[in-house]
Amino acid sequence: MDSVVKPENQVAFVEKTIADKVMSRVRALEEQQRVVVPPNYSAENALQSAYLILQGVTDKEGKNALQVCTPDTVANALFDMVVQGLNPQKKQCYFIARGNKLCLDRSYFGDQAVLKRAVPGITEVFANVIYKGDNVVLKQEKSGRIIVESHETKFENRDNDITGAYSIIIKDGVAYYEVMTMKEIQASWNKRSNSGQVQKDFPQEMAKRTVIRRGVKNFINASDDSNLDVSESYNRTTSDEFENTGEVVESVKKEVVEKTAKVDAPVLNPSGAPHEEPVIVDQVPEGQTSLFEQQGAKEQPATQKPQRPSL
């Protein structure tokens, strides 16, 4: 009598086979010097972690993601994870089933890791929310770059309406700012096809994610062609985020829970720049690219280094 293969075993076999194929593809591209796996990063360990995690990933109807998602999208998600040097065990990324497509969503830890890998000299990535009643002074330098010269706030202001947010990325000792009003942040959210529930539930976190994601995107897309694979993978996976589904809410909830033990980034003051773990998200509308599709190199503009801000 033929043995009956249980569905969960079939899923495990399919996922293990895809993971093995992805690893073989990565090794082949490494030999061709078309993909550079980050130093001190084990693609095998990351794929093994993903293999175990994916056993418990389900879609919004409770079905296992590997039973409803196409093998190509599973392979793409795993490949993007390796190219960006992410590890799901370190909470740097999550796997989300959207219809029959498996998507890779980065956490704020993941965005920081990708940026530091793609752009040498990055040491800090964080953000602050501006509340009604805060006193924020902006300064435009001769280069045209806007900096946050000072930000004074009070504890009780945190219960007030959000009027804006700004991200700070420190590169080679220079602070780069991305400042957005709440109206601009809302306009960014409205460009997405989701209902906006996640923004209503977590407005502070989502405002931070939006301004940091914009700053990170600018740095990565302005990097040279030595990180072209990372840039394309970053943009591809970013475009997958915040579809009109409920799964993204669970992804953000995970990040909020993981961040509860951390304090928000202190506001800037003349004494110097603070430190904080990042929270990120804004969208870059790019098309999904197949894992094995060749992508032509696109020349990226070089980052112009502005003057050191007066902090």
pTM: 0.67
Last residue within a domain, chosen from 106, 129, 157:
106
Check residue 200 and give its pLDDT. Answer: 80
First to last CA, the chain: 77
Same domain, 40 and 180: no
pLDDT (tens place) for every residue of the chain, 311 residues total: 444 444 454 444 555 688 888 888 888 888 887 777 877 889 889 998 998 899 899 998 999 998 999 999 999 999 999 989 999 999 999 999 999 999 999 887 888 889 988 888 999 999 999 999 999 999 999 988 999 999 999 999 999 999 999 999 999 999 999 999 999 999 888 876 444 677 788 899 889 988 988 899 889 888 777 667 788 888 888 765 544 334 444 455 555 555 544 445 555 544 444 444 333 334 333 444 443 343 344 444 444 444 443 33
Tokens of 205: 């976190």
Same domain, 151 and 279: yes
Task: Please classify residue 306 by burial: count the beta carbons closer than 10 Å to its beta carbon, then call 0-12 exposed, 13-18 middle and 19+ buried.
Answer: middle
Q: Beta 174-181 vs 162-171: how paired, if at all?
A: antiparallel
**Residue 303: burial class (beta carbons within 10 Å; 0-12, 13-18, 19+):** middle
Which two structure tokens, joined as six digits, stand for 66? Answer: 């590997």
Residues 94 and 123 placed together within one structural domain of the fold: no
Domain boundary among the residues 106, 136, 166 is at: 106
| 87 plus 76 within the same structural domain | yes
Q: Which of 243, 220, 311, 209 is nearest to 60 (CA)?
A: 243
Q: What pLDDT shows up at residue 109? A: 83
Quote the domain boundaries for residue 20.
Answer: 1-106
pLDDT value of residue 240: 55
pLDDT of the residue at 304: 43
Same domain, 72 and 123: no
Are residues 72 and 37 located together in one domain of the fold? yes
185 & 57 share domain: no
64 shares its domain with 39: yes
Residues 203 and 121 in one domain: yes
Domain's final residue, options 106, 124, 157:
106
Domain count, the chain: 2
Closest by CA position to 77, among listed 108, 98, 62? 98
- Residues 248 and 184 reside in one and the same domain: yes
The set of residues, in sequence order, having a beta carbon less than 8 Å from that of 148 and lying 6+ positions away, is 136, 137, 138, 139, 166, 168, 177, 179, 268
pLDDT of residue 180: 96
CB burial string 74-106: b at 16+ within 10 A, e below: bbbbbbbbbbbbbbbeeebbbbbbbeebbbbbb
- Tell whether 93 and 112 lie within a shared domain: no
Measured CA distances, 97 to 78, 241, 247 (Å):
13, 11, 8
